[in-house]
Every structure is written in structure tokens, then in C-alpha cells.
Amino acid sequence: MGSLFGMNFEKEGKGVPEDGSREMAFFRFFKIIKRKFWEMIRINMMQVICSLPAFVIGAFILSYMYFGFLQNEVEYDLAFRIITGFMIVSMQLVTIGPLHAGFIYTMRNYAREENVFVWSDFIKGIRENWKRAAIVSIIEMAVMFICSYMYMFYNVKADELGMISEVCKVITIILVIIYAMMHIYIYPMMVTLDLNIRQIYGNALRFAIAKFIPNIAIIGVIVILDLIIFVNIIAGLFIILLAGYSLTGFLSTFYAYGAIDKYIIQKIKT
């Protein structure tokens, strides 16, 4: 796979021992969480507060699009839980780009086991990557809006279009899943390597396809965590808003940085 990334990068990561020796990633992951858990809670709260405007706007748009089709209290309750869960997930996909760059920058530093100064690292991640992050944020909003509209359109036209509607809905879901897998790598590459937008998305697509199984597993963990909302919406929101973003963000960034280091950074060094 290394041949897929034959480009010249100027900003590379550090923190990998010269002899290549590393503790098994599984154990390193949980040791880092144990050491940095309280810091991750702080970062989680920062991310939630900074993302509230995007959450409110997104919830308003979705409720406007969907609530007109509901007919009773049961459907309203189910729709509220679905939209809330969707927004919690999508806040990790569609965020205010520069703020998410700061968030992922701190997560990346944890993955590299560097000293993290929460606020200053958060600001540094924003300052160094805000232009590309803003462009990515616009692309993400466009992708999610188009996919949401497509799914709603074919869902409404189900009786009229029949099987074509079902096929189009499945294609839409597949496109969202592929983009979600790409998202795992987009911001970690942005804060680690000196790439333009085209290179970031090209590499992210390659990683999404080549690492399909672990990518699906990571997305599955995020979705399962968010399903707590359907069991108890108050408890689910409490857990997710307290530490959920940091834990899932660190999980995806930890894995993504490992892949980026192996297939890009180490190839540059050799």
C-alpha cells in the first residue's frame, strides 16, 4: 500500500523511536486513556461547547425537514431520538473545521505520547490548519446535506418509485459510510502532513478502502455508544457529552495516526 502514497511531504510527525520498537498498540491505547482521562474530559467539554452552534443549526434543519412527515407522539419521540443520535454522530463528521482541527491535533499528540498542553495545543492546531479545515468543513456540510436530502427524497417517493427508491437509499447510505471512513483520516493527515485538499481526500479514500474492516469497526463503536440514547436519552447524552467525543475521537485518531505513520511517514524516512 505504501506505493499509493508516493508524494513529497514537508511536515512530518515525530515521536516514533528510531529502532521502531513500540509497545503493542492495544495496550498503549488503554494506558494513554488511563493516564490522560481527566484531560480528555476537559477537551471533550471544549469540543462540545465549541460545536454547540453547529449542533443547534443542524438539529433545526433536520427537524424542519422531517417533523412535517410525522403523525403522532410515538413517531415524534422516535424521530427526536433518531435526530439526536444522528446529530451526536454527525458532530464528529460535520463540525466547525478549524475547531475540529484543534481537537484532533490534541488527540494526535496523545497518540504520539507527547506532552499535551490542552488549551495551547488546541489553539495551535486551529492556527496552523484553519484554512484547510474551513474548506473541509464546507465540503463535509455539502456532502451530508446532499446525502440527507437524497435519502429523504427517495424515502418520500418510495411508493412512486418502488425498487428504484430502495436501491437509491442503499447507495446513499453506502456513500455516507465511505465518507465516514474517510473522515477518520482526513483531520489526522491535515494536522500531521503538509498536504493540499486534493491529496488529503485522495489518501483518505485509499485508507477508507484499504482499511475497510477496522474502519467499519471504529464506526461501529461510535454508533453503539450513541445507541445508548435509545435506551436512556438523558444517560446517553450525559456519557457522550462528558467524555464520548474524546474517547471516540482518540480511538479513531490513534488508529489513523498509526496507519499514517506506517504507510506515509516511515516511507518518507526510508
Domain contains 17: no
Integer Cα distance of 52 and 59 in angstroms? 10
Domain contains 91: yes
Integer Cα distance of 122 and 133 in angstroms? 14
Question: What is the 8-class DSSP label of residue 261?
Answer: I
Tell me, what's the pLDDT at 16?
A: 47
Q: Is the pLDDT of residue 69 over 70?
A: no
User: Taking the model in full, what pTM does it have?
Assistant: 0.79
Domain contains 136: yes
Domain contains 175: yes
Tell me, what's the pLDDT at 6?
A: 47
Q: Is the pLDDT of residue 18 over 50?
A: no
Domain total of the chain: 1
For residue 73 the three cell numbers come to: 407522539
Domain contains 6: no
Domain contains 64: yes
Q: Is the pLDDT of residue 118 over 70?
A: yes
Residue span of the structural domain in which 213 resides: 24-264
Around Cβ 47, how many Cβ atoms within 10 Å? 26
Percent of the chain with pLDDT over 70: 73
> Is 86:62 a contact under the CB 8 Å cutoff?
yes
> Is 89:62 a contact under the CB 8 Å cutoff?
no
Domain contains 89: yes
